């Protein structure tokens, strides 16, 4: 546990508060074009060009993703970037047949996983108070926290990839058991979902499917 205390803590808090004020002063909201790019007009993709993704861009996506909020800053997500022919062949074993060409054609497929021992890292990720006792001996709470927050981080990852100019296609049509056996045997990691990333071949797109209106699914209380 290495959180600042006393004057150092007060200075760190003041800097964080001023940093947020400065950010809001520079950027009141994203442009409509930016919102269209990351969500409103974004599409899930199934076909890909052969344009490669440099490792530096994957590192940038991670740096954006890791700053997304999780409960108690638990940060349980772990990422495996499958890009080699050997890795793709191993991952293909887990996929439903119709998803194999989608994955094989993508420059990179990310396995978004979660570390079930994430709570051991709390002295680093949540240094101002030791909360490991909240998780120790509580497998259901550990699993619930890991699943919810790793899924959140996976969503941050998809938005981050779009924000830096890539396209994404998330997949759940696979066997988590086979992925875990192939990639995480003997570890505390479990797969959550897969996400193809790259530069899309738009010729495979069809029309956007319907979305609910506000009044259909939103209420006030």
H or E stretch at 42: none
Looking at the structure, tell me whether residues 22 and 42 fall in a common domain: no
Could you tell me if residue 81 is inside a domain?
yes
Looking at the structure, tell me whether residues 174 and 149 fall in a common domain: yes
Instruction: Please count the other Cβ atoms lying within 10 Å of the Cβ belonging to residue 97.
Output: 8
H or E stretch at 100: helix 100-105
Q: Give the sign of the dihedral formed by CA 68, CA 70, CA 75, CA 79.
A: negative
pLDDT tens digits, residue range 90-106?
999 999 999 999 999 99
- CATH number of the structural domain spanning residue 192: 3.40.109.10
Could you tell me if residue 54 is inside a domain?
yes
Looking at the structure, tell me whether residues 89 and 186 fall in a common domain: yes
Looking at the structure, tell me whether residues 9 and 49 fall in a common domain: no
Looking at the structure, tell me whether residues 5 and 78 fall in a common domain: no
Would you place residue 3 in the very low, low, confident or very high pLDDT band (cuts 50, 70, 90)? confident
Looking at the structure, tell me whether residues 6 and 95 fall in a common domain: no
Looking at the structure, tell me whether residues 64 and 9 fall in a common domain: no
Would you place residue 1 in the very low, low, confident or very high pLDDT band (cuts 50, 70, 90)? confident
pLDDT tens digits, residue range 35-91?
999 999 999 999 999 999 999 999 999 999 999 999 999 999 999 999 999 999 999
Looking at the structure, tell me whether residues 102 and 72 fall in a common domain: yes
pLDDT tens digits, residue range 134-176?
999 999 999 999 999 999 999 999 999 999 999 999 999 999 9
Looking at the structure, tell me whether residues 92 and 58 fall in a common domain: yes
pLDDT tens digits, residue range 172-217?
999 999 999 999 999 999 999 999 999 999 999 999 999 999 999 9
Would you place residue 2 in the very low, low, confident or very high pLDDT band (cuts 50, 70, 90)? confident
pLDDT tens digits, residue range 14-50?
999 999 999 999 999 999 999 999 999 999 999 999 9
Domains identified in the chain, total number: 2
Q: Is 142 helix (H, G, I), strand (E, B) or coil?
A: helix
Could you tell me if residue 194 is inside a domain?
yes
* Closest to 145 (Cα-Cα) out of 74, 67, 80: 74
Could you tell me if residue 14 is inside a domain?
yes
Average of pLDDT values for 121-140? Answer: 96
Instruction: Please tell me the pTM assigned to this model.
Output: 0.95
Could you tell me if residue 40 is inside a domain?
yes
Could you tell me if residue 55 is inside a domain?
yes
Q: Are 197 and 102 in contact (CB under 8 A)?
A: no
Residues contacting residue 124 through CB under 8 Å, at least 6 positions apart: none
Separation CA 176–CA 149 (nearest Å):
18
Separation CA 204–CA 8 (nearest Å):
55
Rg (CA), the chain: 20
Across the beta sheet with 167-171, what order do the strands follow?
77-82, 108-115, 189-198, 167-171
Looking at the structure, tell me whether residues 104 and 179 fall in a common domain: yes
Structural domain boundaries enclosing 12: 1-30
Separation CA 35–CA 32 (nearest Å):
5
Could you tell me if residue 219 is inside a domain?
no
Looking at the structure, tell me whether residues 91 and 7 fall in a common domain: no
Could you tell me if residue 165 is inside a domain?
yes
Looking at the structure, tell me whether residues 59 and 163 fall in a common domain: yes
């Amino acid at each position: 546990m290495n959180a600042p205390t006393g004057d150092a803590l007060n200075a760190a808090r003041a800097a964080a508060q001023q940093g947020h004020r400065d950010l809001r002063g520079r950027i009141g909201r994203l442009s409509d074009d930016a919102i269209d790019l990351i969500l409103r007009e974004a599409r899930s993709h199934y076909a890909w060009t052969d344009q490669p993704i440099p490792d530096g861009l994957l590192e940038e996506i991670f740096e954006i993703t890791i700053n997304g909020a999780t409960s108690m800053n638990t940060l349980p997500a772990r990422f495996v970037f499958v890009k080699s022919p050997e890795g793709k062949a191993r991952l293909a074993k887990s996929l439903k047949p119709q998803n194999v060409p989608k994955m094989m054609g993508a420059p990179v497929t990310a396995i978004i996983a979660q570390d079930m021992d994430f709570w051991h890292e709390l002295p680093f990720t949540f240094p101002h108070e030791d909360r490991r006792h909240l998780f120790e001996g509580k497998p259901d709470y550990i699993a619930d926290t890991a699943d919810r927050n790793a899924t959140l981080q996976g969503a941050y990852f998809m938005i981050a990839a779009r924000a830096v100019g890539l396209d994404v296609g998330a997949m759940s049509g696979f066997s988590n058991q086979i992925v875990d056996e192939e990639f995480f045997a003997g570890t505390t990691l479990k797969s959550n979902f897969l996400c193809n990333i790259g530069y899309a071949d738009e010729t495979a797109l069809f029309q956007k499917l319907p979305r609910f209106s506000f009044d259909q699914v939103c209420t006030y209380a």
